[in-house]
Chains A and B, each alone.
Chain A
Amino acid sequence: MNFDELKNTAKKEWKELESSNKPLLLVGNATCGHSAGSSDVLDVFRERVKKLDIDCNIIEVGCIGLCYAEPIVCIKKPSKPIICYANVTSSKAAELVDKYLLKDDLLLNYALGTIGDGEIKGLPDLFQTPVFQPQVRVILRNCGFIDPTNIKHSLANGGYAGFVKALSLEPDKIVEEIKKSGLRGRGGAGFPTWRKWQLCRDVKEKEKYLICNADEGDPGAFMNRSLLEGDPHSLIEGMLIAGFAIGAKEGYIYCRAEYPLALERLRIAIKQVQELGLLGNNILDSGFKFHIKIKEGAGAFVCGEETALIASIEGNRGMPCPRPPFPAISGLWKKPTIINNVETLASVAFILQKGADVFSRYGTKDSKGTKTFALVGKVKKTGLVEVPFGVTLRKMIYDIGGGVLKDKTFKAIQTGGPSGGCIPKDLLDIPVDYDSLKTAGTIMGSGGMVVMDENTCMVDFAKFFLDFTQKESCGKCVPCRLGTKQILEILNDITEGKGKEKDIDLLSELSETVKAGSLCGLGQTAPNPVLTTIRYFRKEYESHIKDKKCPAGVCKPLIQYSIDEVKCIGCGVCKKACPNKAISGEKKKPHKINKSKCIKCNVCFDVCKFGAVKII
C-alpha cells in the first residue's frame, strides 16, 4: 500500500467511528488518569455495557490536559455533541451507563462541557471556558482524542503526512522550513533547532545519529510523558523528518524507565510504523533508511544533559563531558548527533504537516509557536497546558489555573524546574517567552510551572530544589558537587535557625561560583532557585537569620503553636488528635499547648474548625 492508500483507509475507519450510530466513549487513561482511578472506571464501563448489552465503542485515550478533573470520560452519542465528564468514579461510571447510554439523562452535574460541534443547553463549550480559552492545541492536538495504540487514528488525523512531504523535499529545504517556523529547542535552552541541524548537516560523516531526549526529570513536570502517552506518533514522525533532514539512519529515544506507560505506547507505535513500512529500510521506496531504538534511562536527572545522555546510551555512567566538541559535531559513538526534545520533534511534525507559516502564527517575535506546560502546585486547576508564547503568567495562573488554591494569596511561581527560578507577584504580567523569563532571572526550561501561595517559605522552597540538584549532581566537577552541598547545608542551617549574619552573602558567592564554574547545565543552573529567592525574597531570608522567624510558618524549628483563648471553645478535638499529649484543657474551656511536648506536627492546626490554633 502506498501512503495515500494507508491514509485513506485510516480516514475511512476514523469517519466510521465518528459517525457511527453506536455511542463512543473516550476514557482518559494516561498516567494522570491512572492515578485518579481511570482503570477501575474503564472496567466498570466495559463490564456494565456488556452486561446491559449496549453496543458501543470504548477507546482509551491520552490526557486532555485537565489533570485536576481526572478521570475524564468523553461520550459522544449519535446526533449529540461530545460531552466531557469530570472526576468520574466507578459509581458515576455506572450511572453514566445506566442513565445516559441506556436512557438519555445527560447527567449535566457531572459534565464540564461539550467539545466540538453542537450545543447542549446549560453546558458550556469546553474550549471556550477560561481554562481552555487562552490555550491552543498544536502539539497536543490529538491528545485525548485518538487511541495512541492505533496508528490509523494518527494517520486519519494528518499523522505522517508531514514526513511524506519531507521525503519529497531536499533536506536543505526542510531545514529552511524549520528555520522559517522560528522553532527553538523545547528542552529548555531555546537554541534554534535549524541551526543545530545545520551544524550537524555540515559535518561530512557517513554515520550520524538522532536522539530524542525524553528524559523528563524536573520534579512536577510531565509534558513529555503526556505527549508520549497520548500521541506517540507525533514524536516518531518528527524523528523521521529530523533523521531525514540531518542524514541519520538511526535514532534513539532516551526515555526514563519510570515512564512505563509511555514506553509501552512508544513500543507499540514503533512496531506499527514498522509494519506499515514507514520505518525501516527503504521507507516508502524512497531509499531512506531509518531505525528507532528505545534506551531506557535509570532515572538520573543529569542524564537529561546531552553529553551525559550520550554516555548513558553508550553504556557508560551518565556523566557530562566538557564541550566543545558539541554533540552535533561529535556525539554518540563519536559521530555527529542531534539531540532534540520530545516537544521539539513533535513541533517539527506539525510544521511539516501544516507549514511553517501556520506554526509561526503563534507566539512572539523571538519565541514562535506554542509551548506546553505542566501547571502544578497551589493552583486550583492543575494540568497540562498548551499556550502560544506571549501569554502572561497572570493568565496562566488565574484563567487557566483558576487562581490560587483555597483562594489564598499568590506568592511566587517557579518555572524551569530545579534549574529555573521563581518569579514574584510584581512580575506576573510578563509574557511567557524565552527572553522575558531570562530577564526575570529564571528560564523557560522544559515547561514545569509550580505555583506557590502565602504558606510557602521561600528559603524552604530553595532548600527543596537544592536538595534535589545536590543529590542529582553527577559528582564529577568540584563546584557542583561541593558547592551545591555547601549551599544546601547553609540553607538547612537557616531554616533551623542557625543562620549566620554573612550567610546571604556567602550563598550569593557560592551560587555565582557554582554557576560560573560548573561543567554542565545542571551545575550552571542549580543555584537559580537560591539566587532568585534572594533577589525577590531577601527579607524572608533575613527574618530567618536575624529574627529567627519563618514568616510563612513553615520551618518547624522557627515556629511555635499556640491556642487563641478567645477563639477556642474547648471542643477537645485538638486534644484528642494530638499524638504527643501536648494539649490540655477542660471541656468548654480554652485549651493550652505544652510547648515542651509539642512536636509541631500541625495536626491541631488542621483539625481546629475555629481557627483557634495559631502558628507564631
Chain B
Amino acid sequence: MNITIDNKKIQLKEGMSILEAALSNNIYIPHICYHPDLKPVSVCRLCMVDVKGKGLTVSCHTPIQEGMVVKTRSTEVDKVRRLSTQLLIVNNLSGKARRDQNKQNELLKIAKYVGITKEDLKRFRISKKKYAIDSSNPFFDRDMNKCVLCGICVRTCEEIERLGAIDFLFRGYDTTIGTFANKPLKESICEACGECLVRCPTDALRLKKPQNPDSKVRSTCVYCGVGCGIYLWVRNKKIVSVSGDRDNPVNRGILCVKGRFGFDFIHHPERLRSPLIKKKGKFVKASWKEALDLVAEKFSYCKSDDFAALSSAKCANEENYLMQKFTRAVMGTNNIDHCARLCHAPTVAGLVQSLGSGAMTNSISEISRAACILAIGTNTTAAHPVIALKIKEAVQNGAKLIVANPKEIDLCRHADIFLQHRPGSDVALLMGIMRVIVEKGLIDKPFIEKNCENFQAFEEALDSFDLDFVEKATDVPRKKIIEAACFYATRKPAAIFYAMGITQHTHGTDNVLATSNLALLTGNIGKPSSGVNPLRGQNNVQGACDLGALPNVYPGYQKVNDADVKEKFETAWGVSLSDKIGLTHLEISDAIYNGKIKMLYLMGENPILSEANSRHVEKALKRLEFFVAQDLFLSETAKLADVVLPAASFAEKDGTYTNTERRIQRVHKAIDPINGTKPDWWIICEIAKRLKAKGFDFTHPREIMDEIALLTPSYQGISYARIEDIGLQWPCVSSEHPGTQFLHAVKFATKNGKGKFIPLKYRAPAECPDKEYPLILTTDRSLYLFHTSTLTRRVKGLDALNPQELLNINPKDAACHGIDDGEIVQIISRRGKIKVRTKLTDICPPGVVSMTFHFSESPTNVITNSAMDPVAKIPETKVCAVQIKKLRK
C-alpha cells in the first residue's frame, strides 16, 4: 500500500493505522494515549493529522488507505494540538515539573514539539483539583495529580491482565481513574504486576524508589516454571530493577508481581556472606578453604550408599548436572533427588509411560489459539500468572474454558464450566468425562487406530465409571460432566493444563495418566495448541529432571539400571558407576531417620517447610552424621547443617534454566558474586577436586553445557552460542535442529512410537475425613509468595502484600465451629498441629479448608500427609484430614 506522509512516499502493509505508519518510518506524530500493545482509543486527540479530502483525522484510529496523503501538521491540526497540549500542561504539570527537562514525560516531549511558551499558558484559568497520592501499593505510587487520563493503565489492566482492577470514575472534569469504590490499590483486586506502571507515559504511576540504572543484562526469571525473559538493570554493581524482555517468546515482556518486583533478596542483608561451620552447636564463620576442606574430608569417609544429595530446581542446569555427576561419579551412589519428587514426579513417571516423554507437550505461545482449555488442578493465576494471561487471552479469542478444581479459584471468573470436584476425585472425574466421550461417539477413532495402543483394555476400565458413580465420587452434577466432555471433545484443538492438584496425591500418577488418556482419546496431541501440559513449578524443575537429579536416571532420562547407559557414562566420566536405583526424596528422609544414610549434601532446598510431615524430616536431619547445606540464606533447614556454604544468586552467575515448555534459556551474570559467596557449580567442582575426582575442571558453565550436550540426546544441539538471546526447546538433537515446539507430532516418544492408553481404577485419598478429623485440608499457593518463601519474604513489598498465612474456610464450616473471620485457631492432623489465622471465604466449599505453605510461622507441612504414590513416590500434600480447634480467647 502506498501512502504519502509529509511529502514522503511510503510503502506499507495494509492494516496499519496512520500513526503506526508514520512512527515506523521515523515520522513523529505527537501522541499520549496510544500504546502499541493496546487497542487505540484516540482520547488525547494530539495525534490528529490532516488527510487530504478528509480534513482533521485521528491518526491512531484511522487505517491507511491506498493513495492517502497525510500532513502531520497544518493550521487546523496545530490549533487543536497546541490547545490540547496547553490544557494538559496547565492541568497536569506543575511549574517545577515543566522545567524538569530530564523527566521521562511524554507531555514535556510534546510541549517541546509544538513549542509552548509561558505566555500561552498564562491565559488559562487554573483551578486544579488536589488528589491525595495513593501509596498503598508497596512498589509504586499513584499520583492522580499528574495523570492525563490517557487510560493506558486501565486498558493494560483490561486488555493485557484481563483483571479490570481500575477504571475511569466520575464524570466531566472530576473524571479520575481508580479502583472499585475508589479504594486504595492495595485494597482492590490489583495484583501489583506493574504492567500499568511500565506503560504510564507521565509520572502518575511511579516507582516508590525510582532508579537510574546504567546498564542492563538479559536473564530469566527465577521464580516459577514459566521462565519469563527479563532484564536485570544494574547501577553501581547492584541490581536496582527488573523489566520484561519483549523479545522473549514466552512472556513478550509481560511480568507478574514477583517477576517484576521480587528481587530485593539479591542484596538482602541476611544473605550468607561466609561459609559457616558448626562448632559446639554454634555456627562459626570459616574461610572457603577451611570449609571446603572439611566437607571433602568428611565426604571422603563416606561409603557410597551412606551418602545422599538433594539437588535444587532453583539452580541452573549445569549445577544440577554437576550435582548428579558428583553423587554418581564421585560418591558412587544414585541417592540423588530434588523437589520435583514433591511436585511433578507423577508427571515424569506417568507421561513417560503413556507418551514417552514427561514434559509439557506444547508451547506457551500456542495457548491463545486453543479452542478449548481444560485447566484441572492448577491455580494458574496464582502459581503461573503469565500462563494464566495466555489462557485468558484464549478465552477472549473464543476458546471454551473448563476449570476443574475443588476450590473456586480466580480462573473460574473466566470459565465457561466450573467443575468443583472433591479433592482427590480426579480419576473419577476424568474417567467419567471420557466415558461420556466414548458413549457419545466423540472419540478420534482414526487417530487412536493409527497412533495408539491398549485402547480396548482402557475402554473396559471405563465400565466402572458410570455417571451415577462419578457423580457420587466427585460431587459434580452429571450435566456439567457431560457438558465439559462435549466441549473438550468437539472444540479442537483442546489443551489440558494441570499442576499440583493432579500430582500431589497418592494416586498422582493415575491422575496424570487420566489426562493423557483424555488427550489420546480425542486426538488432542501432536498438534499445535493441544496436548497435555503439566505446568512446572520451579524455574528449573524441568531442567533438574532433564539433567538427572533423579535417583533412577542419568541426564536425558537414561536409566541407571540399563547396562548400555551405564557403560556410556562410565566411559564418559572415566569411573565405574552403580546400577542400583537410588532413594527418592522421602525415602532419603526415612533412610536418614533410620541411620542408613549418614551424610547429606543439600543444595538450595528447604525440605523442613516443603516436605510433607515435615516434623519427621526435621527429626531425621538431626540424626545425620554430617550435613552440608548450600544456600543463599540460612534457611530453616540450613540451620541444622554442620557446614553451610554461601551460594551466589542467579544474578551473580551464568547458566541455563529449562522452563516448563522445555525451553533452555540463559541466565547471564549481571554482577559479581556478593562478597564471600560462590556459584554453586564452582563449589561442587571444588569439593569434587578435593576428593581427587576427574572431570570437574570447569572454568565456566559454558563448558559444562558442552559436556551435557555430549551425553544428553535431547540437549545435543544446545550450546551457549545458540541460546544467547532466545532459548531453544528440547528435543534439540543437533546443532542445526531448530528445537521442538510441540511433542509427538510424527510419533510418540515411546519405544514403539505409540501412545499408550492406561486403564485406571479409582482410589480414594490415603486419608479421608472422619468423625475425629472431619475436614479435608488442601494446599495452595499465593501469587505474591513463592514456595517456602526463602526469597519472596525477603522482598519487603511482597511480604507486605501477603503478610501471613490464612486458613481459607467456608463460612458454613466456620459457623459449625463457632469461628470468626480473622480468628487464630489450631489446626490438627494425625501428624501435628499448628496455629493459623482464619479467612472465611466461599472459595472453599464446605468440608474443605486450604492453606499455602509459604510461612515458617505456620508450617503447613507439619500436618500434611506423607503417604506416597506407589509409583512416583510423591507425598499426598493435597489431601489430609484435619480438625480445627478454637483457641481460648
Contact = CB atoms under 8 A, between A and B. Distances in A.
A512 interface: yes
A262 interface: no
A321 B87 CA distance: 22
A300 B168 CA distance: 14
Given A489-B127, A502-B123, A481 B173 contact: yes
B296 interface: no
B201 to A, nearest CB: 13
Contacts of B87: 478-479, 482-483, 486
Interface stretch (A36-44, A81-89, A174-182, A515-523): A515-523
Nearest to B176: A475
Contacts of A321: 41
A517 B173 contact: no
Interface string B38-75: 00111111101000000010100100000000000000
Interface string A454-485: 00000000000000001111111111011111
B172 A475 contact: yes
Contacts of A510: 83
Given A509-B83, A513-B79, A513-B83, A478 B172 contact: no
A490 interface: yes
Interface in B94-145: 123-125, 127
Contact of A479 (B41, B83, B91, B171): B83
A356 to B, nearest CB: 34
A470 B41 contact: no
Contacts of A517: 45, 48, 56, 80, 83-84
Interface string A284-323: 0000000000000000101000000000000001010110
B167 interface: yes
A477 B168 contact: no
A325 to B, nearest CB: 10
Interface in A482-540: 482-486, 489-490, 492-493, 502, 506, 509-510, 512-513, 516-519
Contacts, number: 108
Interface residues of B, number: 35
B149 A483 contact: no
Contacts of B58: 322
Nearest to B150: A478
B76 interface: yes
Of the candidates A317, A475, A483, the one having the most CB atoms from chain B within 10 angstroms of its own CB is A475
B168 A482 contact: no
B175 interface: yes
Nearest to B46: A478
A contacts with B: majority SS: helix
Contacts of B45: 477-479, 517-519
Given A300-B171, A322-B41, A322-B42, A475 B124 contact: no
Of the candidates A302, A506, A513, the one having the most CB atoms from chain B within 10 angstroms of its own CB is A513
A478 B84 contact: yes
B42 A479 contact: no
B149 A475 contact: yes
A317 B44 CA distance: 18
Contact of A476 (B61, B90, B125, B149): B149
Nearest to A302: B171
Contacts of B123: 502, 506
Contacts of A484: 172-173
B463 interface: no
A313 to B, nearest CB: 17
A477 B174 contact: no
A492 B46 CA distance: 27
Of the candidates A470, A493, A502, the one having the most CB atoms from chain B within 10 angstroms of its own CB is A470
B83 A322 contact: no
B151 interface: yes
A472 B61 CA distance: 24
A478 B173 contact: no
Interface in B324-343: none
A321 B43 CA distance: 9
Contacts of A516: 56, 76, 79-80
Contacts of A493: 125
Contacts of A472: 171-172
Given A322-B58, A506-B123, A513-B83, A478 B88 contact: yes
A46 to B, nearest CB: 44
A491 B61 CA distance: 34
Nearest to A478: B84
A469 to B, nearest CB: 8
A475 B168 contact: yes
A317 B167 contact: yes
B170 interface: yes
A483 B125 CA distance: 11
B148 interface: yes
A535 to B, nearest CB: 19
Nearest to B87: A482
B31 to A, nearest CB: 12
Contacts of B83: 479, 483, 509-510, 513, 517
B44 A475 contact: no
Contact of A519 (B42, B56, B171, B174): B42
Interface string B595-615: 000000000000000000000
A473 B172 CA distance: 4
A512 B79 CA distance: 9
Contact of B175 (A481, A509, A518, A519): A481
Contacts of B40: 322
A471 B170 CA distance: 9
A516 B84 CA distance: 11
B172 A481 contact: yes
A251 B48 CA distance: 36
Contacts of B90: 482, 486
Nearest to A502: B123
Contacts of B41: 321-322, 476
A343 B307 CA distance: 89
A506 B120 CA distance: 11
B125 A478 contact: no
A485 B172 CA distance: 8
Interface in B392-443: none
A474 B127 CA distance: 19
A490 B125 contact: yes
B88 A482 contact: yes
A417 B95 CA distance: 39
Contacts of B48: 517
A476 B42 CA distance: 9
A477 B48 CA distance: 13
Contacts of B174: 471, 475
A504 to B, nearest CB: 12
Contacts of A478: 43-46, 84, 87-88, 148-149
A503 to B, nearest CB: 9
Nearest to B85: A478
Interface string B163-203: 00001101111110000000000000000000000000000
B232 to A, nearest CB: 37
Given A300-B171, A322-B41, A475-B170, A513 B84 contact: yes
Of the candidates A474, A510, A517, the one having the most CB atoms from chain B within 10 angstroms of its own CB is A517
A493 B58 CA distance: 33
B168 A476 contact: yes
Nearest to B42: A322
23 contacts: A317-B168, A322-B41, A322-B42, A322-B61, A470-B172, A470-B173, A471-B172, A473-B171, A475-B171, A475-B174, A478-B87, A479-B80, A479-B84, A479-B87, A481-B172, A486-B90, A489-B125, A506-B123, A509-B83, A510-B83, A516-B79, A518-B45, A519-B43
Given A473-B175, A485-B172, 4 more contacts: A322-B40, A481-B149, A482-B90, A517-B83
Sorted from nearest, which 10 A-B pairs have the closest CB atoms? A475-B175, A489-B125, A482-B87, A517-B80, A485-B173, A513-B83, A471-B172, A477-B43, A473-B172, A517-B45
Interface of A: 300, 302, 317, 319, 321-322, 470-479, 481-486, 489-490, 492-493, 502, 506, 509-510, 512-513, 516-519
